[in-house]
Structure 1
Amino acid sequence: MENQRGNCCDQDGFLYVSGMIAVTAAIVWADRRFQTKFFKYVPAIVLIYISAALLNTFGLFGDSDAIGDTSSTIRNALLPAMIVLMLLKCDIRKIIKLGPKMLITYFVAAFSIVGGFALTYFIMQSFYIDDTWRAFSALAGSWTGGSANMVALQNILDVPEDIFGFALLMDTVNYSIWVMLLFWLVPFQFVFNRFTKADTSKLEQISSEMAAAADAEPEHPIAFQDLMVLLGISLFIAAVGSVLGGTLPEIGTAINATTWQIVIASVAGLILAVTPIARIPGSMELGSVMLYVIVALIASGADFSELNQAPVYIISGFMIFAFHGIIMLLLAKVFKLDLFTLGVASLANIGGMVSAPVLAGAFNRALIPIGVMMALIGSFMGTFFGLLTSEILSRL
């Protein structure tokens, strides 16, 4: 009888994971198939989180050890593998060519977001529930890099699923309004550039060169062997990182075995990005599959019945963006920055690969490669800015 109960639990864990993947697949299919305005304003990754959380809220899956262990095991395996795949297109040699102005603007934007989190948390912490600093730190990873960084930090900091729901709500509502504001400003770029007295000649030259290089590079279809190679490399690095991470020392509240595993995966991804492996097609697609599955597994532990404090967190998100916007505006005026540099640096942090290239294309289609490069910086740095935020907020 004891063995039968064990087998039943194993089946429960498998049913749970397969159900989450099925829900994820259905949403992604609908997003790609219909491409309506609804999916434009409510991204697939947000719908995945909401759907998985609702399934848990209504008690579709029980709270068993088998389900918890299965979810944890798969997340721990896929997370570093996903990071390796996402960083394969992050050629640091191309990023350096962006020049100091673009890079400095990106880092000022990132630090202003971290500062916004610190100031907002200091002012509003009496209104928050326990462990909000963990959720804010994970959200800081998203707003200085992207969703992959947020997921990594959720795992590193062990953010409770219910509180993580607040972070995702802010990542949806506040982020959407900020993106709409930046797109609304695009037609006023010439007015803004006259206000800051910006010189855009060098930017136009760089964008032309990058666009020409992109046109010269042939496109290759994704083959079966490509996916197998990428899957094998990424999972092997994840396994090695797990072994090595367990042998390295823990430092403070954020540097633990999981942190070391993420760092090892990030460094490995950057190294591989300058090798022929980076030219294998399919890394972003396979990495996105892993990302969506991880988000579904995280969300399946959330409970929407406890979101009654959501307005406080939405207000907090606007406070963070207000601080960020003021710092960026002052930076533009003092250093004579153009609206493109300012907007893409901001969205490379807050929106990542999803939004920064789109905003760059709204200015000029030839500028899309710069938006991609800026977003790739965030895909690597977001986790570390999130860890910095966690150190600051945990001390507050």
Structure 2
Amino acid sequence: MAIEATEPSVALIQNDIVGLGLIAGTLAAVFYLSSGPTPFWKKFFSIVPALLLCYFIPALYNTFGVIDGQQTKLYNPVARDVLLPAALVLLTLSIDIKGILRLGPKLLAMFVTGTVGIMLGAIVSFQVMRFIHPQTVAGDTWAGMAALAGSWIGGGANMAAMRETFNVDATTFGQFAVVDIVCASIFLMPLLIWLAGRAERIDARNGADTAAIDDMKHRIADYEARNSRIPTLTDLMVIVGVGLGIVGAAHALAVPVAAWCGANISFARQASLDSTFVWVVMLCTFAGLALSFTRMRNLEAVGASKVGTLFLYFLIACIGMQMDLAALADRPWLLLLGLIWMLVHLGLLYVVGRLLKAPLFFLAIGSQGNVGAAASAPVVAAAFHPSLAPVGVLLGTVGYATGTVLAYITGLILKWMAGA
């Protein structure tokens, strides 16, 4: 008797418009509940980061067959090719380079130290795990680490950019998304918030000079009072028009530029310079930086970064739709790799902070400005003082601007170390 082939499972929702509605409703519910409408939800989200649910609830939809993350077009081309580059534009056009310089050399030194710590941590953790458990860094682990470096030098948009740049497998990416959440959101951020409550004693014991922090509090409060206003419909139209307009121009330019590089540069393939997507990401990032020197930077006063973050969270949810929640069970050693990586980052910040006698706030924001970027750096900054939250946004946006380039360099180093 002939054996009939087993029919592949079919997702409950196959219409992408219905799937988009489900994702939008899920994000709305997460953000509403995270605002703490009741004491239960306020306590719940003080323990469970909202970002975690934005990844994992869509992953549950995929895991249990509600949606098919591999077949949907919500991630590619919608989220990846439109929302990601638009988020990069809107999150970088608000950078105030002069304002950052006025924050003082110690803060900038700690931010740069945090960035170096992430790049160095990637190399050290890769080499240590090669000695402890070689299977952990075999295969395409280096590519997943490159994507994670993007997240830890700038945030989710940079992580997604590195995923496409190095063509990271969806399962590998999902595994490193879990490592990201565990090490950054469950370990690092709560640790820094806990230390914030002890900042005065720690700074006094270390002899740190906190005068610059007091000056920042007053300056930021004055800036907020002068510039913030309720956005009009025209403001929102301009924000969306600038973001999507630059995305369209970037796509138009990226195709011929990538083709020219592939035909005329011998190492274009190795450096991904023949990739249209790489050029879209770079053009949008540099366009945002260029706009930060113009009057367009004033769009931040009416919510440019909020719109960019909105795009980013849709992107995060679409990435979550492709995650295999059981994948990390096959590679638990990745958590140790991530922990070693994070300890190198924190260790370097601690050493430099002691040498500079930098306030604990500088160490915390130097870390979260990289690892959490504008998504969570304000949370940590506000734990020290509510008026310092915009400092987190300020340095977090620098992370968005530098993360794509520096994570790309880190990925090339890891690729060379892996012999890929």
Q: Do the structures match in fold with TM over 0.5?
A: yes
Cα deviation code 1:221-270 (max 9, x no counterpart): 22222222222221111111112122222633444321221111111112
State how far apart, in whole Å, the 2-side matches of 1:187 and 1:54 are.
Answer: 35
Q: 1:358 aligns with which of 375, 379, 401?
A: 379
Query: In the TM superposition, what are the counterparts of 1:149-188 in structure 2 within 5 Å?
Result: 149-175=158-184, 176-188=186-198
- Give 2:199's aligned residue: 189
Q: Indicate the residue corresponding to 1:61 in structure 2.
A: 67
| Other structure's SS at 2:198 match | helix
Query: Does the Cα contact within 8 Å between 1:95 and 1:377 map onto a contact in 2?
Result: no
Q: CA deviation at 1:80?
A: 0.7
Residue 241 (str. 1) matches residue 250 (str. 2): yes
Task: Give the aligned partner of residue 314 of structure 1.
Answer: 335
Q: 2:49 aligns with which of 43, 50, 63?
A: 43
TM-score (norm 1): 0.88
Task: Tell me, yes or no, if the aligned pair for 1:17 and 1:297 is still in contact at 8 Å.
Answer: no
Unpaired runs of at least 5, structure 1: 1-10
Worse overlay, 82-91 or 22-31? 22-31
User: Matched residues in 2 for 1:310 and 1:109: separation?
Assistant: 27
Q: 1:55 to 1:99 in 2, by over 3 A?
A: same
Q: Which residue of 2 aligns with 1:86?
A: 91
Deviation at 1:76, TM superposition (A): 0.7
Structure 1 residues 181-203: Cα deviation after superposition (integer angstroms, max 9, x where no partner): 22222243344334543323334
Task: Name the structure 2 match of 1:371.
Answer: 392
Q: Distance in 2 between matches of 1:219 and 1:326?
A: 38
Contact conserved, 1:31 with 1:39, CA < 8 A, in 2?
yes
Tell me, yes or no, if the aligned pair for 1:207 and 1:370 is still in contact at 8 Å: no
The one-letter code sitting in structure 1 at the alignment partner of 2:292 is A
Identity within the alignment, %: 30
Give the 5 Å matches for 1:124-163: 124-125=129-130, 126-128=134-136, 130-163=139-172
Matched, 1:263 2:282: yes
Deviation at 1:389, TM superposition (A): 1.6
SS in 2 for 1:246: helix
**Alignment equivalent of 1:222, drawn from 204, 221, 231:** 231
Aligned to 1:23: 26
- The verdict on how the C-alpha distance between 1:190 and 1:83 changes in structure 2, with shifts beyond 3 A counting, is same
Q: CA 1:62–1:373 in structure 2 vs 1: closer, same or farther (change >3 Å)? A: closer
What's the CA shift string for 1:48-102, capped at 9, x where partnerless?
Answer: 22122222222333577xx455531112122111111122321222122223221
TM-score by length of 2: 0.83
User: Counterparts of 1:315-394 in structure 2 under 5 Å?
Assistant: 315-394=336-415
Deviations 1:200-230 (A, max 9, x none): 3334334423332323x14322222222222
Structure 1 position 71 matched with structure 2 position 79: no
Letter matched to residue 80 of structure 1: P
Secondary structure at 2:326 match in 1: helix
Q: For residues 201 and 29 of structure 1, what CA distance do their matches in structure 2 show?
A: 37
Contact 1:135 1:159 in 2 (8 A): yes
Partner of 1:276: 295
User: What is the distance in 2 between the residues matched to 1:177 and 1:71?
Assistant: 29
Residue type of the alignment partner of 2:278: T
Q: CA deviation at 1:310?
A: 4.8
How large is the RMSD of aligned CA atoms in angstroms? 2.4
Tell me the equivalent position of 1:123. Answer: 128
Higher alpha-carbon deviation: 113-122 or 243-252: 243-252
How far apart are residue 387 of structure 1 and its match?
1.0
Letter in 1 for 2:233: F
In structure 2, distance between residues paired with 1:150 and 1:341: 24
> 1:124 Cα shift?
1.6
Distance 2:315 2:398 in 1: 22
- Asked if structure 2 preserves the Cα contact closer than 8 Å seen for 1:135 and 1:163, the reply is yes
Gaps of 5+ in 2: 1-13, 263-267
Gap change, CA 1:119 and 1:22, over 3 Å in 2? same
Q: Give 3-state SS (helix, strand or coil) of 1:320's partner.
A: helix
